[in-house]
Amino acid sequence: MTDALLRYGVVISGGGSNLQALIDRSADGTIPGRIVLVISNEPGAFGLQRAGRAGIPTQVIDHRAFPDRASFEQALAAALDAAQVELVCLAGFMRVLTPWFVRHYRGRLLNIHPALLPAFPGLHVQQRALDAGVRFSGATVHFVVEDVDAGPIVAQAVVPILPGDDAAALAARILQQEHRIFPLAVRLFAQRRLEVQGSRVIIRGHEADAAAALINPLPDG
Ligand code: GRF
C-alpha cells in the first residue's frame, strides 16, 4: 500500500490503555497512521499523560463545561475537524453520543467494547457476563451507529471465563485482547480495506480467512 498515513484522533475518558496500544502500534508501523489529536472529557484522565509522553497533542473538552450534549459534541467535532482527522477512535470514552455526532463521522467512527456484541451492550458488562453464566466473553471493535454499542462489527476476540473470575479479573483478560484487536481494526481501516455493506463489514483482500483471523486476531505486523 502506498497510501498516505492515516490521520486519526482518539477520544478517551480514562486510563487509556487502549490508547497506548494504538500509540505503540502506530509508532512501530503496524498501523500505517498517525494519532494527531487525543481528546479527553475528563481532565484527570491518565491517558492524557500517555499521549503527552508520546508527543501527541491533547485537548481536554470537559462535558460539564457545556450547557447541553449538543454544544459539547459540537466542540468535540470542531477540534477533531480542525485536526483534519480521517478516523475517530473511541477508546474508553464514557459518554453516549447523539445521532448528530454519529452522522457527522459515519463510516469513520470506531468504538471498542469489552464484550462480544450484540451480547452485553451498555455498562458493567464483565459483571453481567459473569452473572449470566456465559462460558466466553470477549471484545468487539465496531463502527458506531445511532444505537448504543451497535453497528457493523470490524473485529472480535473471544475470552474464556474461568472458575473464580471476578469482574476485575475478567476485565483484565478482555483488555489484553482489546489491545490486539483495536490496532488490528485501525490498521485495516488505514489500509482502506474495510467496506461496510449494510450491517456487515467486508475486509477487502481477506475474504478467505477473515473469519479465522478475527477469532484469533492476526499477529501484529
Ligand atoms: C475498555 O475496557 C473499553 O473497552 C471500555 O472502557 C475500557 C477503557 O480502558 N469502553 P482504557 O481506558 O483503554 O484502559
The pLDDT of residue 221? 39
- Asked if CATH classification 3.40.50.620 holds for the domain at 113-221, the reply, yes or no, is no
pLDDT at residue 1 in the model: 46
DSSP classification of residue 100:
H
Q: How far apart are CA 177 and CA 156, in angstroms?
A: 9
Rounded distance between C-alpha atoms, residue 144 and residue 58, angstroms: 23
In tens, the pLDDT along 155-193 reads 999 999 999 999 999 999 999 999 999 999 999 999 999
- The grid cell for 83 is 485536526
- Match domain 1-105 to its CATH number in 3.40.640.10, 1.10.3720.10, 3.40.50.170, 3.90.650.10: 3.40.50.170
Spatial CB neighbours of 40, under 8 Å, sequence gap ≥ 6: 11, 12, 13, 47, 48, 58, 59, 60, 61
Place of cell 459540537: 74
The domain spans of the chain are 1-105, 113-221
pLDDT band at 205 (very low <50, low <70, confident <90, very high): confident
**Confidence class of residue 217 from pLDDT cuts 50, 70 and 90?**
low
Q: 12: closest CA among 42, 34, 35, 33?
A: 42
Q: Which of 104, 113, 142, 179 is catalytic?
A: 113
Q: List, for residues 65-110, the tens digit of each pLDDT value.
A: 999 999 999 999 999 999 999 999 999 999 999 999 999 999 999 9
pLDDT in tens, 35-50: 999 999 999 999 999 9
Mean pLDDT confidence for 128-142: 98
pTM of the predicted model, to two decimals? 0.93
Residue 139 CA, distance from chain mean position? 10
Tell me the Cα Rg of the chain. 17
Q: How far does the centroid of ligand 1 lie from the alpha carbon of residue 125, in Å?
A: 12
Ligand 1 mutation pick, 35, 39, 111, 112, max ligand atoms within 8 A of CB: 112
pLDDT at 59 over 70: yes
Q: What is the mean pLDDT of residues 22-28?
A: 98
Active site residue 142: no
Dist. CA 101 → ligand 1 center (Å): 20
**Angle between helices 125-132 and 167-190 in degrees, nearest 10:** 120
CB-ligand 1 contact for 91 (6 Å cutoff): yes
Chain mean pLDDT for the chain: 94
CA of 91 to the centre of ligand 1 (A): 6
**Which residues on neighbouring strands pair with residue 153, listed in sequence order?**
142
Report d(CA 165, CA 148) in Å as an integer: 27
- 183 in contact with ligand 1, CB cutoff 6 A: no
Instruction: Write the DSSP string, 157-189.
Output: EEEE--TT--HHHHHHHHHHHHHHHHHHHHHHH
Q: Residue 2 — pLDDT band, cuts 50, 70, 90?
A: very low
